[in-house]
Amino acid sequence: MKVDLHFVSADEAVSHVKSHSRIHLSSVASVPHVLINALCRRADAGEVTDLHFHHFHTEGNAPYSEKKYEGIFFDQGFFIGPNVRANVNDGYADYLPVHLGESAKLYREGFIRLDVAMVQVSLPDKDGYVSLGTSVDCSLAAVESAALRLAVVNRNVPYAHGDLLHISSFDYLVEDDSPLITKDFSEPTAIEMEIGRRCAELVEDGDCIQMGIGALPNALAGQLDGHRNLGLHTEMFADGLLRLIKSGVINGRCKNIDNGRVVASFLLGSKDVYDFINDNPSVLMKDIAYTNDPMVIARNDHMKSINSATEVDLTGQICADSIGTRIFSGTGGQLDFVKGATMSKGGKSITAFASRTAKGKNKIVSVLNPGAGVVTPRADAHWIVTEYGAVDLYGKSLQERARLLISIAHPDDREMLDREAFERFGPHYHFGI
C-alpha cells in the first residue's frame, strides 16, 4: 500500500507554534535542526516569545539556550550536554532534574503541559508506520501528549524496530534529508583500559550488561572480547558495543526478556551504528519508560550496570551530574539501572572512574564539593572501581567504606584521605574495622 505524504516547509510548520508554548525536541543525534532554525527566524522577526524547550542531551547548535534569545527561548533540558552547559551555568538556560526513566511520565501525566512535539522520523513503511530511529527516549510520550505534533521525515533516520508511530499521528510533515549527527569518541587511555579490565572481571559469561558511551565504556567493551553470550539492555550504546554485537559476544541468548535482542532507547556514534539498527529485528529501540524501568531491568538475571561518577565521598555518596554547584550533565538513567541491577538475581551495580581528574584532582574525596548533587545515595552504592582496584560497599559501615575507598584512591591521595577519615570518625577509626 502506497502512503501519500503531504509536506510543508519548515517555516509553514512552525508558524503554528504559539507564544508561551512548551516544546519537546527529539534529542542526541536526531535533533530537528531544520525546525529549530525556522523558529529562530520567527523569533528574529519578533513573531514569538516565551518558548520553553525540553529534551535529552542534544548534539549540534543550540540557539534555544543562547543569551541572544533571552526572554524569547528558555531551555530546560532533562540532561545537559556540552552545547548548552555554559549557558545553563550562566543562567540563560536551565536543568530540569529527573531520572530519565521518569521523563516520559512528566508528559503523559501532565507534570509538564506539553504544547508542541518536534521530532525526526524515518520514511514510513508500507502500512504508514514510522520509527523515531536513534531518539525514541521520551519522544514517543511527547508525540502522544502534545497538542501540536511536527515531524521531520528524513531518509537518514533508520527504521528501527521497537516502538513505532503511525504517520497520521502528526499534524504537519517537513521533508529534510540532512545526515544525522555522528560522534567519534577518543581512544581509551592506559588508565581507562585498566579500569575497563577491572570492570570486565566483574562480568561473567551470560550476563546482561548496561553501560553508557565514551572512552571508558569503549575501554570496557574492548576487555569483553573473551566473554560469551552476553545480553544488552541499556538506555544507549555506541561503536564499542556494536563491535561486540557484530562479533557475537553480545547475542542475548541468556536474557529472560527480549531474548536474542538488543534493547536501547537512544544512540550516538558513527553512521555504522545507525545503519546497523535500520530494519534490524534483533535491535529494539524502545520508550525510555520501558528501558529504564528498574522492574523491567531486574527481570534479566545477572544484570551488570556500569556507570561513572564525577566524585565519590568516603561514605559512598556518588555525584555524577555536577562539579560542585556547576551542572555538568544530569541524573540520567544512573539510579534507574543501579536499582534494576541490584534487584536482579545475581546482578551487580558498578560505578567506575579514574582516581583523579585530567588536572590531577582526586575524585575519591572525604566530603563532596559544596553543592554537588548526589545521584546515587550511599545506601545504593555497591561496587566502586578505579584503576587501583574494585571494592564492594554493600553491607559495609561508614568506617569500613572509608577504608575500602581509600584503598583504591590514587596512592598519593591516600595519606590525606586517611587523615581526613580519622578527623571525621574520631580516634577509634583505625581500630574499629
Active-site positions read 235
Do 206 and 230 contact (CB within 8 A), yes or no? yes
> For the chain, first and last CA: distance in Å?
72
Q: Which residues of 286-323 are buried (b: 16+ CB within 10 A; e: fewer)?
A: bbbbbbbbbebbbbbbbbbbbbbbbbbbbbbbbbbbbb
Q: Which of 347, 262, 364 is nearest to 302 (CA)?
A: 347
> Positive or negative CA dihedral for 364, 312, 372, 213?
positive
CA distances from residue 19 to 14, 44, 47, 139, 397 in whole angstroms, order as listed? 11, 14, 8, 21, 54
394 Rama sector, left if φ>0, alpha if ψ -120 to 50, beta otherwise: beta
Between CA 286 and CA 131 the distance in angstroms is: 10
Q: How far is CA 427 from the centre of its chain?
A: 43
CA 315 – CA 303 distance, rounded (Å)? 24
**What secondary structure letter does DSSP report for 370?**
T
Distance CA 326, CA 323 (A): 5
Query: What is the full DSSP assignment across 94-127?
Result: EE----HHHHHHHHHTTSS---EEEEEEPPP-TT
Helix (H, G, I), strand (E, B) or coil at 214: coil
Nearest to 165 by CA among 107, 114, 112, 122: 122
Backbone angles phi, psi at 134, to 5 degrees: -85, 0
Angle between helices 215-222 and 190-200 (to 10 degrees): 50
Amino acid letter, 394: Y
Burial class of residue 47 (count of CB atoms within 10 Å of its CB; 0-12, 13-18, 19+): middle
